[in-house]
A and B are shown apart, each in its own frame.
Chain A
Amino acid sequence: MSEGPITKDVLVKTVTKILIPPIQLFGLYVIMHGHISPGGGFQGGVIIASSFILYALVFGYREGAHRAKLKIRQFLEPLGPIIFGTIGLICILFSGNFLQYSAIPILANAEIAATAISLVEIGIGITVTAVIFSIFMAMGGRKTDG
């Protein structure tokens, strides 16, 4: 399974190549609209990760591991919580409570404060994308260095 593409079917490959950008775009949409519509960082992150998983399924394990390298994933996995925590800590530094956006001077306006929650969602999205794809790779290739 780890050797080369699973399929040589041109049709599958082409359709996958066409599908991946809309999937990722939809994932980004779900993340960015998390605070006003159903969805959010986790859901959007899973959608983006599913595009990577689709790629790895069609083009093979090795190609998938090459696209999203282990090193990069290891960096992205803890990045989300750090973004989340940093935003919370900034609120504390401005003597508000944890995640009290209105304490930050630029975010005093309620509408602008909504963007801060988007930043948190982006952080969650990054982590979820990396972790879901890592789980897939860990399950897929026990012996290969994924």
Chain B
Amino acid sequence: MLLNQNQLPILLVLIPLFGAYLAAISVLFKKKINNILSLILLSLSFFLSLLTANHVLTSGDISYHTAGLQPPFAIEIVVDPLSALMTIIITSLSLLTVIYSREFIRKELSDKRESYYYILVLLLTGGLNWFVIAGDIFNMFVGLEILSISSYSLIAIAQNKEAIASAYQYLLMGSIGSSFFLLGTGYLYIMTGTLNFADLAIRIAQLGLFNSEAIFASTAFIVTGLSIKGAIFPLHVWMPDAYSKALAPICALSSGAIIEAAVYALIRITLTVYGIEFITEIVPVKTILLWLAGIAIIIGSLYAISQSNIKRMLAYSSVSQMGYIVMGYGIGTQLGLSAGILHLFNHSIMKACLFFAVGAIAYKTGKTDLYEYEGMGDKMPVTMMFFSLAAISMVGIPPTNGFISKFYLVWASASSTRWIFAAIILVSSLLNAIYFFRIINKAYFGGGHEEASRDEAPYTMLVPIGVLAISCVVFGLAFNIPLSLIEPVAEKLMTLSLII
């Protein structure tokens, strides 16, 4: 075979990034080609990410070095089962976004902006893939910048006043996050002289830097920076504004992949570079994040209940869902970490489905407010059915995937005798039920049956919504598929010791 299987990781990054520039050139010669081109490229990336996951599961982690040097001097790309799972999430969501966008974007944007849109989505995918599989902290920063800059532009792409203002707010917050991350990286580099994750961990232990103020500072900067990117309470303030003004597919991609990737990076860096003992005993990052997550879950749900704009509501719901993920990490056991990451996987499916469905309704009827959803169950039955499936999953009713990950979280907090967090999860499920059942109630039983005539969204939009909604049920039953990718890594991360 011409292509060595070990080349898979670089292609995951290269195909979307290279494709973005190809798309930028090809659009000069043939207009409207970008949708097809990005569809092909992202399908290929999705296929490659599945191959990578298969390869990682069957024959172990892939470590790839560019330019034929050895790490820590070469740029290293490391794919373990967890990063393979992240690339599957990223490539599948961006593929579905491109399918969904075909009709949606044609209506919302002019031809010129439409071609920019696909270029930016490709760049975003490439940046995200790079961000999650980078083996050294500086390349992770580069990936973070690529994905951030393309997401700022994607939020502003509608070019109305509000979208630009909220994208600008996001830009300010996001640049602070990026600069904090870079500052933290700088401190690490000054103290250890290396950037490679594995090498950093070894050097910090060898040089006995666990009580150094510079390492404390680097922890603070990196955790804060990634918390801004990952919309972790109380640094989530950019998100509701950005999402309520952005286009629906961008909200789905951002909520389903970008903030997830940031939280993934937080987990990865704190557990591989600093190690579990450092973040539990020396700098209590985990305890702080655990309590913040507990507050986030309740406050996010309460804010969500008080919104009438559905996109804003979903954004606040994301704040509370990110709380679940961070809570799983903060519990600090292997079970908790697996539960958090499983919820990360499930949340990206559910939330993307909800945003797609809300976008489809806005596309057909222009309605974005909760109180205008009367009779929507008759008007757009298929979309509403998928929306309800995902909503049920968010609430956590079996046999959906939301139930499984919430169950795991409750189990993890109960088995580490943190009863208060088990209680928080159960209470917040009730709060979730309040704001989601309110919509379902309005749509199906809220009157407006008389004037409703059936007017369904086009197939290109229904298919992504349907795929995600059905995945909610499928992964509620087949939850061992993501778990098989999560558990080996969770075990490895929790048992990494300072003594190497």
* Chain A residues within 8 Å of B, Cβ to Cβ: 71, 74-75, 77-79, 81-82, 85, 88-89, 92-93, 95-103
Contact = CB atoms under 8 A, between A and B. Distances in A.
Q: Is the interface of A mostly helix, strand, loop or mixed?
A: helix
Interface stretch (B59-67, B218-226, B457-465): B59-67
Interface string B10-27: 110010011011101100
B67 A100 contact: yes
A88 B2 CA distance: 15
Interface in B55-74: 64-68
8 contacts: A78-B20, A78-B22, A85-B17, A92-B10, A97-B66, A98-B14, A98-B64, A103-B68
A81 B22 CA distance: 9
B68 A102 contact: yes
B18 A82 contact: yes
Given A81-B21, A88-B10, A89-B18, 8 more contacts: A78-B20, A92-B10, A92-B11, A97-B65, A97-B66, A98-B14, A100-B67, A103-B68
Interface of B: 2-4, 7, 10-11, 14, 17-18, 20-22, 24-25, 28, 64-68
In the A-B complex, the 7 residue pairs with the smallest Cβ-Cβ separation, listed nearest first, are: A100-B68, A78-B21, A78-B24, A85-B18, A81-B21, A98-B66, A99-B67
A93 B2 contact: yes
A58 to B, nearest CB: 30
A96 to B, nearest CB: 6
Contacts of A92: 3, 7, 10-11
Given A89-B18, A92-B10, A97-B10, A75 B66 contact: no
A99 B4 CA distance: 15
Given A74-B28, A75-B28, A96 B21 contact: no
A92 B66 CA distance: 10
Q: Is the interface of B mostly helix, strand, loop or mixed?
A: helix
Contacts of B64: 97-98
B10 A81 contact: no
A103 B64 CA distance: 15
A101 B67 CA distance: 7
B24 A77 contact: yes
Contacts of B17: 81, 85
Given A92-B10, A98-B14, A85 B67 contact: no
B442 to A, nearest CB: 45
Given A78-B21, A81-B18, A89-B14, A97 B28 contact: no
Q: Most chain-B Cβ atoms within 10 A of its Cβ — which of A78, A92, A102?
A: A78
B21 A98 contact: no
A92 B14 CA distance: 11
Nearest to B77: A98
A36 to B, nearest CB: 17
B25 A75 contact: yes
Contact of B68 (A77, A89, A93, A96): A96
A85 B17 CA distance: 9
Q: Most chain-B Cβ atoms within 10 A of its Cβ — which of A79, A88, A97, A100?
A: A97
A142 to B, nearest CB: 14
Contacts of B18: 81-82, 85, 89
Contacts of A82: 18, 21-22, 25
Given A82-B18, A82-B21, A98 B10 contact: yes
Contacts of A74: 24, 28
A103 B65 CA distance: 14
A88 B25 contact: no
A25 B180 CA distance: 39
Given A79-B25, A85-B18, A97 B68 contact: yes
A98 B67 contact: yes
Contacts of B22: 78, 82
Contacts of B2: 93, 95
A103 B7 CA distance: 14
A79 B17 CA distance: 13
Nearest to A79: B25
A74 B23 CA distance: 12
Contacts of B25: 75, 78-79, 82
B498 to A, nearest CB: 32
B402 to A, nearest CB: 39
Contacts of A101: 67
B28 A100 contact: no
Contacts of B14: 85, 88-89, 98
